[in-house]
A and B are shown apart, each in its own frame.
Chain A
């Protein structure tokens, strides 16, 4: 089976993640979209590992998972805090960055 199919799938998933991040205002959903993008990248890693016949890609995917887990923990804590102070989970409400 042609491994390019996996890559194309990975690209499509990545673009879906990007789309989700750009259109969704809910912080949680935006965050999920980011996870989707990470997973799409992971799929590429695993595919390339298979193509090249070594395990480094799988190790990379493993590390991405670990980092993503850490990121989720911190990100969700931040979302919680923002929600606690502002009673909102919309990323558009947090536009103080421009000041």
Chain B
């Protein structure tokens, strides 16, 4: 593989010196909202929604000033200070604002702001709305630390921070047992991934003496290829945990227990893409190891199908979308594994996906809101007329995700498919098939939700969301439509210095055989969905004997697998260790205690309590000492 040219960031001046405010504002607001308590209930949500907007404004200003500067001056390092100093190595903490991180910052704060506004309406009835906004702000702050970090250790702080925020928000309705369990599951599964990141950092310290992105990137080519593969696989493990990729995907579906804005922001648009960010950020390492890159692509492809499979089988609207998220992130991982060319497309798809998936989730949230928090699509139907705005915006998201021409997904996904063909025809055809399945399950979702006869439960009367929820939907729908068009010709060039890619020309409508086949496959998927789900749908989920259906409904038996492969042996190991501890270690300890006790029992006979006896002992002792002294002199 070709070592990449490393772009050294320039020092921060002017506006860039205030980049830390993007983190500080949400963080301070989060702390404030938690501290003030009930006193902030009246205004907490407004302050909470204002914080990411402020960050967004700063990010936008930075972005504009970066647009104005040259390629060499676009990567800016901000406020480096010594954080940990131990012996021969030091860790500095600083921010890196470059082409990649500013796009993420815009996505997090931009989509975040819209979701915050939406949440004002969505969480209106919830007594703990202020706490919700505090946690959301905590998440934004942590996510900004993650994307703006200039070394892996600071990134890890953000990484754990978003994990914490995710845990808090999945379990936001902690009075529900299922939510509490889901939060725990997400946290624990993420820890498995964190182990990979930690180990990777240890290895970096050992290999390079530093975890700075610039140092690691600069010194990576000198590293033995075995180490490159090991580092790559460890980072992939971390990415799998955070991005819910196979085999650590189990937590994402349960994470839908959280409030829907959380699902939109954290579990669709931003946090789950942190894994892709990590892989793209570490491109220098993956570039040196073909097996690691291949593993990334394979994991991505596996996730594409795993997610799609689940999406086809589930009746819970949020879980279908969660499966879809897993699948789409699988596309990003696939692209990220392909190499520098794919990395830019991965980020491209990440951005467009952030927009349209947030749109879809918020739409789903609006539907749930109108259907008394029912998530079962079998109880929907005929909602197109009941909620026209929701339907219109949802349709934009739908067309974007299936890759309808000129919509966002069309550009980003097609690029990935073509890049996959460039890598290997197997990857290409599989990616293509994935696109078809995506079209199918999304069509299924739309058909079941918006069309057909109403299958509403008794007493449910769909009502339309208020403007505070509709406005963000409209903005996100616009983004779903136009972000692809806007970014298509530009993003490759923009990201080239950060991901080390070479720019390939791309056009608004590429008339290649691949594009045509893709459109054909997508059309087939849509057609199949329409044909299958025009038929009447049972209000109860029918029992199925089809293995594929049952596997999808049971999330590919991942829970059972984890339980059988990891949990039970782990429990057995723990029980064994417990037994060994009790019988061997404790036994040894107890035996020594018994020995001492027995010795004490013997010595106790000397303790008769008689002063005269003690006096005799003392006198004998004096005689003995005197004898020893005299004999010692004589000898």
Contacts and interface: CB of A to CB of B under 8 A. Distances in A.
Interface of A: 18, 21-23, 25, 30, 91-92, 94-99
18 contacts: A22-B612, A22-B615, A22-B616, A22-B619, A23-B612, A25-B612, A30-B611, A30-B612, A92-B612, A94-B609, A94-B611, A97-B607, A97-B609, A97-B611, A98-B607, A98-B608, A98-B609, A99-B609
B504 to A, nearest CB: 92
A71 to B, nearest CB: 16
B615 A95 contact: no
A28 to B, nearest CB: 14
B610 interface: yes
Contacts of B608: 95, 98
B128 to A, nearest CB: 61
A97 B610 CA distance: 8
A16 B279 CA distance: 93
Contacts of B616: 22
A1 to B, nearest CB: 27
Interface string B320-349: 000000000000000000000000000000
Nearest to B614: A97
Nearest to A96: B609
A22 B619 CA distance: 9
A94 to B, nearest CB: 7
A96 B615 CA distance: 16
Contacts of B612: 21-23, 25, 30, 91-92
Contact of B611 (A18, A23, A91): A91
B619 A18 contact: yes
Contacts of B611: 30, 91, 94, 97
Contacts of B609: 94-99
Contacts of A21: 612, 615
A5 to B, nearest CB: 21
Given A21-B612, A99-B609, 11 more contacts: A21-B615, A22-B612, A22-B619, A91-B611, A92-B610, A94-B609, A95-B608, A95-B609, A96-B609, A97-B607, A97-B609
A88 B220 CA distance: 90
A56 B115 CA distance: 95
A21 B615 CA distance: 8
A91 B610 contact: yes
Contacts of A91: 610-612
Nearest to A25: B612
Contacts of A99: 609
A13 to B, nearest CB: 15
Contacts of A96: 609
Contacts of A94: 609, 611
Contacts of B615: 21-22
A23 B613 CA distance: 10
Contacts of A97: 607, 609, 611
